[in-house]
Structure 1
Amino acid sequence: MMIDPEVVTLSRLQFALTALYHFLFVPLTLGLVWILAIMESVYVMTGREVWKRMVQFWGVLFGINFAMGVATGVTMEFQFGMNWAYYSHYVGDVFGTPLAIEGLMAFFLEGTLVGVFFMGWKRLSRHAHLLVTWFLALGTNLSALWILIANAWMQNPVGAKFNPQTMRMEVTSFTDVLFNPVAQAKFVHTVSAGYVIGSMFVLSISAWYLLRGRNVDFARRSMTVAASFGLAAALSVVVLGDESGYAVSENQKMKMAAIEAMWETEPPPASFTLFGIPDVQNRTTHYAMHIPWVMGLIGTRSVDKPILGINNLVEDTKGKIGNGIQAYDAMLTLRKDPNDAQAKSTLAQYDSDMGYALLLKRYVADPRQATPSDIDKAAASTIPNVPVLFWSFRIMVACGFYFIALFAYSFWLASKRRLDNNRWYLRLALYSLPLPWVSTELGWIVAEYGRQPWAIEGILPTALGVSSVSAGQVWTSLSGFVLFYSLLAIVDAVLMLKYARKGPDELGIWPVREITPPLESTVSAH
């Protein structure tokens, strides 16, 4: 049966939209919960009521965001069975355990701890409530760990082997799945990005209060915590991003080449392309500005290892497709006769390349009947969208360095007790609020869009993972999700803006409304 490209495109679009929307909430939860834990720790150590009230106010915004994250996360797992049935069958043995543990943590552990966090202020001692908050922070991050272990396996499928009788991947070493080097790099990089979002969220809203002369003592302290935590997080994102980049260069060479728009292999160490305009049709990059050695050092941690170019990788893929065709033929033989010794030998030799033969199913029903032209098309299909990856990566990196500069300056102002004396800085902090989300969404695009055409790198093409549904059915579910998520977006925006504008004073958390004049009035008076 030939693959319907419209079903594949619509299924990918639906999953991408829901994932991108869900990821608006997850990173804020990851970062904000640690800020709550830090603030409550100060409260317990000092006994000063202001710190308790800070935890309670930011906890309200955390609770709204947490609820939205859970609501939008449920649909993500439903889609595996709805739009990606064969994918679910193919990887269920591997995915089952991480997703089950993630579900237990997200819906049972986290849900329980969130309830105790909000209801326990008058029922628990200060130390007991602090313990709950720290366990909530830990549980939230461990929940992210398990989903990233599952995702990392798609990028680097270790600890599993294809079974020709069941036609699915089966776990051979759960330890290898758990300690996948890509999972480790993705986890620390992703949670650090979440910490930046949480810090920017607190910094920006606090800056808004200072601009209006509201909750001044509250806002100063909040900004001090956000500046300190944010600076450490922003530095971590850059350092850990380097580790993530190294993991990509080891396991996903085509993605690395596409990020760099590197069409030909350069002599090591490769340079980093600071600016350029990728030309996909002619396979070149115009107006390229290079920084010598940087990409080679980041990607290979050496001065003598090359980073393969796109054209070289395409040629290598043609050879893997040829090997994969032999493995595919052996697999079909073993399904008829499981004792065929020659087929077992051939499959053992080439099974790692069988996924490349499956790329041919976009062009021919039986990969063994593929023509040289079909093989050329299949090999070329392994090139992801180079301009999208090239610019997404560079904008993401630029945002990362901007965050370091902003948080470093914020930390300096906090140390000098001058946070509320600089109007342009407060406006800059306020207007910077969307940027961490922009950078994390771009990071998601680099990671997931850059893996295409693979659902599982080198194993299962995305086009083969879809369910046996019609394009009309996918259109219906996609329309429903867009409508539902749009309504959720409106509800979330209204609630977050409502409670952020009210502030701790109007919510009764901050009992005395301060009368400090707005910063704009103070500046204009002088």
Structure 2
Amino acid sequence: MELDVVSLSRLQFAMTAMYHFLFVPLTLGLSIILAIMETVYVMTDRPVWRQMTKFWGTLFGINFVLGVATGITMEFQFGMNWSYYSHYVGDIFGAPLAIEGLMAFFLEATFVGLFFFGWDRMSKLGHLAATWAVAAGSNFSALWILIANGWMQNPVGAAFNPATMRMEITDFYEVVFNPVAQAKFVHTVSAGYVTAAIFVLGVSAWYVLKGRHVALAKRSMAVAASFGLLSSLSVVVLGDESGYLATEHQRMKLAAIEGMWETEPAPAPFTLIGFPDQQARETHHVLQIPAALGLIATRSLDTQVPGIRELVGHAQERIRSGIIAYDALQQIRAARGLDRVSPAVREAFEANGRNLGYAYLLGRHVADPRQATAEQIEAAAWSTVPQVAPLFWSFRIMVGLGFYFILLLGLFFWLSARQALDRRRWLLWVAVLSIPLPWIAAELGWFVAEFGRQPWIIEGVLPTAIAVSSLGITEILLTLAGFVTLYSVLFIIEMGLMIRAIRKGPEPDHGLPAPLTAAAPRAAPLPAE
């Protein structure tokens, strides 16, 4: 990576975002699991379910606090490191974030207090409603954030205004119901549910291995296995939907993920293994599954999936169109209004305006896009190709982990149904060792989504290179070091608190019956805890 403002700004935002996302999936999933457990408690009135809810709620609370602490700085970075981006699309991007704060975060933050401090001050149904409100707030928060992110991936419902030099909303309904945003939302929250399910499963398996809190642990494992299995299946289905939408809206990302340099005859094969070579612009030693990519990406047998070279050719055409739009825009600005230029200039801008962002790709090659040579246009077109190898392997590791989670959770669901959760100790250890894997899969998923759309900060509209603030390298390095240090300390604190709470185990609950003394006879053995 070059040591420049753009690269360092990208690195800083990537570091803070990926640190923050260490906490988000567990918050999303645990909030639903807590609501499920408390619902069972209210329906059955069995105190062990109340104890389960309070124990996993403690871990949820630790994670929730750290998630909030690491997320606050992210929104400030849009003005701090990405000021031109904020100016260019602030009217659109800011709306979902503002709604998230007003509608979702305040809901979640308000009711999380009732969850922790309202156990003995509220009725059972009242407290259950508060718990479900926390879960709803967590998921609504993710919805609005992913609506904002989905718009960056597929900028619909907006148009460029040459008078203000900004993007403006034309259809808020289209922004909210953007198909890319909706697919990202359900895919992301499902991944969070899997993360929480594996976490609960692994911690509970550890308790069973140690012979501690066995009754609570087995019930927790049953909930996690059933909830997690459904979620992991939905992740695969919704991931397929994301791949289909990428064929329509982010074809270069899809081609890079597949390492597909040439357009294959329909239906295109899926490359299971290969070694992409960016310099040679080909993928070596491929092992392919015939027709699989065509079915996944187009859901047909006769639609082609374009390769990287063909898409670069399309990019060159759009750059030339963007140059026409750029020239018309300069005339509009000089005349100080669209209504003050000739009809020919207006028609040129209206016909080519959607490709204006492609002209901005020439910014790294020539000061005035209108002066660009054929070689510079070709170089700018090839800059639309992200680094293929990291995307290729990140995607395959993520998908491989997804199918592993289905297998693991399916096995535990089967054992739970047979009431045999403690009969295979090796499988319990597998569950314990699998705890970090959902986080790896989630981080790789975000890497594929964000790294794969480079060089665009807004797909086809605004290149990342011109969206940054006018900062010095020293300033960014200092803040980057500060964020990494602070977030690392917070992560260590969170891990320490979580491990301490897990080792301590659930607190004795006054709703549970008192343990029998040695003098008190009993008719049948009771399970531990």
TM-score (norm 2): 0.95
Partner of 2:524: none
Q: Name the structure 2 match of 1:311.
A: 309
Judge which range, 55-64 or 100-109, deviates more. Answer: 100-109
Q: Which residue pairs with 2:505 in the alignment?
A: 503
Instruction: Report the Cα offset of residue 388 of structure 1.
Output: 0.6
Query: In 2, Cα distance between the equivalents of 1:507 and 1:134?
Result: 22
TM-superposed deviation, 1:511:
8.3
Match runs of 1:337-416 below 5 Å: 337=335, 338=337, 339-340=340-341, 341-416=343-418
1:452 paired residue number: 454
Q: Distance in 1 between matches of 2:259 and 2:420?
A: 44
- Whether the 8 Å contact between 1:90 and 1:167 is mirrored in structure 2 is yes
Aligned counterpart for 1:214 among listed residues 212, 215, 222: 212
Between the aligned partners of 2:515 and 2:8, the Cα distance in structure 1 is: 52
Q: Please tell me whether the aligned partners of residues 215 and 505 of structure 1 are also in contact (alpha carbons under 8 angstroms).
A: no
Q: Deviations over 1:444-472 (max 9, x none)?
A: 00100001000000000001100011111
State the shift of 1:420 in Å.
1.2
Q: CA deviation at 1:301?
A: 1.1
* Structure 1 residue runs of 4 or more that deviate by more than 3 Å after TM superposition: 505-514
Residues 290-342 of structure 1, C-alpha deviation per residue, up to 9 Å, x if partnerless? 10111101101111111100011111111110000000010111011122122
Query: Whole-Å Cα distance in 2 between the matches of residues 308 and 47 of structure 1?
Result: 59
Letter in 2 for 1:361: G
Which of 233, 241, 244 is the equivalent residue of 2:242? 244
Structure 2 partner of 1:265:
263
- Alignment partner for residue 187 of structure 1, among 182, 185, 188? 185
> In the alignment, is the contact (CA less than 8 A) between 2:47 and 2:511 conserved in 1?
no
Which range is displaced more, 364-373 or 399-408?
A: 364-373
Q: Partner of 1:517 in structure 2?
A: none
Letter in 2 for 1:392: S
Change (3 A) 1:270 1:114: same
- TM-aligned CA distance change 1:345 to 1:226, over 3 Å: same
Task: For 1:104 and 1:499, locate their aligned partners in 2 and report how far apart those are by CA, in whole Å.
Answer: 32
SS of the counterpart of 1:264? coil
Q: Secondary structure at the match of 2:301?
A: coil
2:146 corresponds in structure 1 to 148
Partner of 1:28: 26
Amino acid at match of 1:370: A
SS in 2 for 1:407: helix
1:402 and 1:506 mapped to 2: Cα distance? 36
Given that 1:504 and 1:510 are in contact with CA atoms closer than 8 Å, whether structure 2 keeps it comes out as no
CA pair 281-513 structure 1, distance change in 2 beyond 3 A = farther
Kindly provide the CA deviation profile for residues 422-453 of structure 1, in whole angstroms up to 9, marking residues without a partner as x. Answer: 11010000000011000010000010000100
Structure 1 residue aligned with 2:331: 333
Aligned counterparts of 1:496 and 1:366: Cα–Cα separation in 2: 55
Do structure 1's residue 78 and structure 2's residue 79 form an aligned pair? no
- Mapped partners of 2:399, 2:301: distance in 1: 23
- CA shift for structure 1 position 107: 3.8
Q: Distance in 2 between matches of 1:211 and 1:390?
A: 38
How many residue pairs match? The answer is 512
CA contact (8 A) 1:98 1:149 kept: yes
Are residues 49 and 266 of structure 1, via their aligned partners in 2, closer, same or farther at CA, if it must alter by over 3 Å?
same
Q: Does the CA contact (< 8 Å) of 1:70 and 1:106 recur in 2?
A: no
What is the letter of the counterpart of residue 60 of structure 1? Answer: T
Which amino acid in structure 2 is aligned with residue 308 of structure 1? P
Q: 1:323 corresponds to which residue?
A: 321
Q: Which of 419, 422, 429 in structure 1 is aligned with 2:421?
A: 419
Query: 2 CA distance for matches of 1:275 and 1:490?
Result: 36
Residue deviations 1:194-240 (CA, integer Å, cap 9, x gap): 00001011000001101100000010000000000000000000011
What is the aligned-residue RMSD (CA, Å)?
1.6
- Matching residue of 1:48: 46
In 2, Cα distance between equivalents of 1:302 and 1:203: 39
Distance 1:59 1:452 in 2: 39
Q: Distance in 2 between matches of 1:31 and 1:513?
A: 33
Give the letter aligned to residue 144 of structure 2.
W
Aligned residue number for residue 17 of structure 2: 19
Residues 393 and 507 of structure 1: CA distance in aligned 2, closer, same or farther (over 3 Å)? farther
Q: Distance in 2 between the 1:17 and 1:321 partners?
A: 32
Gaps of 5+ in 1: 515-526
* TM-score, scaled to structure 1: 0.95
Structure 2 distance, partners of 1:299, 1:172, is 30
Letter in 1 for 2:365: Y
Q: Are the counterparts in 2 of residues 355 and 459 from structure 1 also a CA contact under 8 Å? A: yes
Change (3 A) 1:164 1:513: farther
Cα shift at 1:362: 1.2
Q: d(CA) in 2 for partners of 1:510 and 1:501?
A: 21
Unpaired stretches in structure 2, ≥5 consecutive residues:
517-529
| 1:281 aligned residue | 279
Identify which of 92, 101, 106 aligns with 2:90: 92
Aligned residue in 2 for 1:127: 125
